[in-house]
Structure 1
Amino acid sequence: MTSPDLRHHGDVDAAPGLADFAVNVRVPHPPAWLRERLAAALGDLGRYPSKQAEERARAAVARRHGRSPDEVLLLNGAAEGFALLPKLAPRRAAIVHPGFTEPEVAFRDAGIPVDHVLLDGDFTLSGTAVDADLTVIGNPTNPTSVLHPSAALKTLPGKLVVDEAFMDAVPGEPESLAHDPDVLVLRSLTKTWGLAGLRAGYFLGDPETLQRLAHGRPHWPVGSLTLEAITACCEPEALEASHRFALEATEHAAYALEQLQDLVVVPPKAPFVLIRVPRGTREALRDKGIAARRCDTFPGLDDTYLRVAIRPPEEFAVFVDALRVVMEELA
């Protein structure tokens, strides 16, 4: 078995002209109220990002999670957060898979040994005997859409890094560890708010750890529009709208897929769902104009799995209808 392509992401599968169910950005563009906020900030692009705007964004994140501003590190997207992790210089890192592969790439590029904690079955975390002084896990996990109990996360070895990029799409955010001072939590805003082209995220952690991660970053690492987006998306009104949409769309998608025979569906808790299908399904869907995320690039999965982005019901019906036809043809 060949090694998976750890740098493969869903945007590669979503070629122009295809209905995109491969990229797990929940909406195709920012909502109108957020576009207006960003448009109002365009007049400031002639100036460097101000310290006041940075402090305002950090304060908004801190209020949102009940933390202090010195426990917040603003990022140019969550991907930057993964790239900073090798600064913690672990002797050995562990990555829970199937999971997002960028942290493994960052550690391997830095020469840090990486062990896999491979989950199977329902992909829920259980005990592990891995010897590591830093462990990374996603919650909810990409691509399985499983939400792990926070108590189980706390049993993982070493410094715990939890990728909560999709937690703000889970109503009530149960099992979040964003409040825990002993855990390093990574958040993304691009997935929920249609900001993949802008890049916006943050770390939550103890001040000493965040200072180590921030050391050596260039001046103005986060741009003015990103600072405005972070501030806006952490306001209570934004979160309420996000949770309401997420619950309705996820429940509808799970029900629609359950109506298909011979389809294995991992119950989704995030705005995407993992399904197991006959080999050749992804290619057949592509021939019908539908893009789904291949999963053989995730350690622990093979080409019988697809990750499918959850869209509003009327859009997701297009995928379900195409999948029904393809499975009948392959059978």
Structure 2
Amino acid sequence: MQYPSHGANYQTLYERFQIPMPEKVYDLSENVNAFGFPAAIKEKWHQLLRHIMTYPHPEAEPLRTLLAQKHHVKRENLLIGNGAAELLTFFAGRFTNQKVIIVHPTFSEYKTTLEAQKAKLVELAVENITAYQLPIEQIKKQMKDAACLYLCNPNNPTGSLIPKKTIEELLIFGKALGCEILVDEAFMDWTDETQSAIPLIEWYPNLTVLRSMTKMYGIAGIRLGYFIGRKELVEELNDKLPHWHVNALAIEVGKWCLEDEAFRHESIAKHAEIKARLEHYLLEKQCIITNSATNFLCFQLKEPEKTQDFYFDCLRKGVVLRHTENFYGMDGKWLRIGIKKAEAMEKFQQIMDEWYGQ
């Protein structure tokens, strides 16, 4: 049975498994803001028309400068891409025939992009899924002849945070060995940012941080992500990227998002309230849940061997969860659920209640 490698695009999921799609479907498999995008996007949408006939700024200005100011870094240390996935692809291109470490469970695009570039992968795994504690000694042992270590913080799929002090410990170790570290912070803006590695950029030239704007600001269809790292790396990657690779509409929309900081704080508060209720519900059902700091979490049924049956029961009844069949270390025995509005969460709970005969 071939599962899709990502969440979202649920229509293709029903087609693949030849399951009749209900009239109403709640997609809990993706992690985009449940409350949509900032109001300014709808209010100013007509202003984008004047950008359609003109080429975008080749360096994605003024968004590049605004993002640099937001993160208190120099403009020359920041590179914007057509989504984080584009930047991951070009970053991986630097490691052909070189050893790269990834720690599972983690975002599947790391392995996909690295294998496409024929990198020599070393795949480690955390011992405790719920806490997501890194196997530090195993990582250090492998770093001695590795070109790069990939870390996802907060982790996808678990939502767990890696303490900044742990990342700095690895940066110090890697700096002495010439081992780079990529920290993917696609969901860090769902936190208070205290564990972000961005402030460490100034001290560790072996650090690169990846960010995404699509999840928090509800603009997955726009595609917008960025790297923060040493100047030389930014220049190297920029030389390889296509000219005008960030479109003019994305630049404008990104600018409007940054202007609405209240939207981010309100989104965090709303999702946190819904997530707290979901966590309480799942624990009542004797599920195990991950220690998530983001707008999603993973849970394991009290009977993990029935996970696949429950997944398809949800699918048939109009709720799409994220399977973990392609997350090494979770092996299909967990499910990821994105935090959505009350109606969607109530539907999920209704299905689980029925599953347990309540």
TM > 0.5 fold call? yes
In structure 1, what is the equivalent of residue 28 of structure 2?
21
In structure 2, what is the equivalent of residue 253 of structure 1?
278
State percent identity of aligned pairs.
27
Are positions 1:145 and 2:171 aligned together? no
Distance 1:254 1:42, change over 3 A: farther
Deviation at 1:50, TM superposition (A): 2.9
Are positions 1:233 and 2:230 aligned together? no
Secondary structure in structure 1 of the residue aligned to 2:30? coil
In structure 2, what is the equivalent of residue 125 of structure 1?
134
| Alignment partners' CA distance in 2, 1:305 and 1:187 | 26
Match of 1:10 among 7, 12, 20: 7
8 Å contact kept, 1:281–1:327: no
In structure 2, what is the equivalent of residue 107 of structure 1?
114
Distance 1:98 1:327, change over 3 A: farther
In structure 1, what is the equivalent of residue 72 of structure 2?
66
Consecutive unaligned residues in structure 2, runs of 5 or more: 15-20
Q: In the TM superposition, what whole-angstrom CA distance separates every residue of 1:93-112 from its partner, at most 9, and x where no partner exists?
A: 11111000112111111111
Between stretches 311-320 and 143-152, larger displacement belongs to 311-320
In structure 2, what is the equivalent of residue 206 of structure 1?
230
| Alignment partners' CA distance in 2, 1:96 and 1:33 | 39
In structure 2, what is the equivalent of residue 136 of structure 1?
150
Letter in 2 for 1:153: I
Letter in 1 for 2:182: V
Letter in 1 for 2:187: F
Q: In the TM superposition, what whole-angstrom CA distance separates every residue of 1:225-278 from its partner, at most 9, and x where no partner exists?
A: 111122222233343333333433333332232222x21111221111101123
| Alignment partners' CA distance in 1, 2:346 and 2:127 | 29
Deviation at 1:58, TM superposition (A): 0.8
In structure 1, what is the equivalent of residue 242 of structure 2?
218
Secondary structure in structure 2 of the residue aligned to 1:83? helix
The structure number with the bigger radius of gyration is 2
- The size of the alignment, in residue pairs, is 323
**CA RMSD, Structure 1 to Structure 2 (Å):** 2.3
TM-score by length of 2: 0.83
Consecutive unaligned residues in structure 1, runs of 5 or more: none
TM-score by length of 1: 0.90
Between stretches 288-297 and 83-92, larger displacement belongs to 83-92
In structure 1, what is the equivalent of residue 188 of structure 2?
167
| Alignment partners' CA distance in 1, 2:353 and 2:333 | 16
Distance 1:246 1:62, change over 3 A: farther
| Alignment partners' CA distance in 1, 2:26 and 2:126 | 31
Deviation at 1:28, TM superposition (A): 6.5
Distance 1:283 1:62, change over 3 A: same
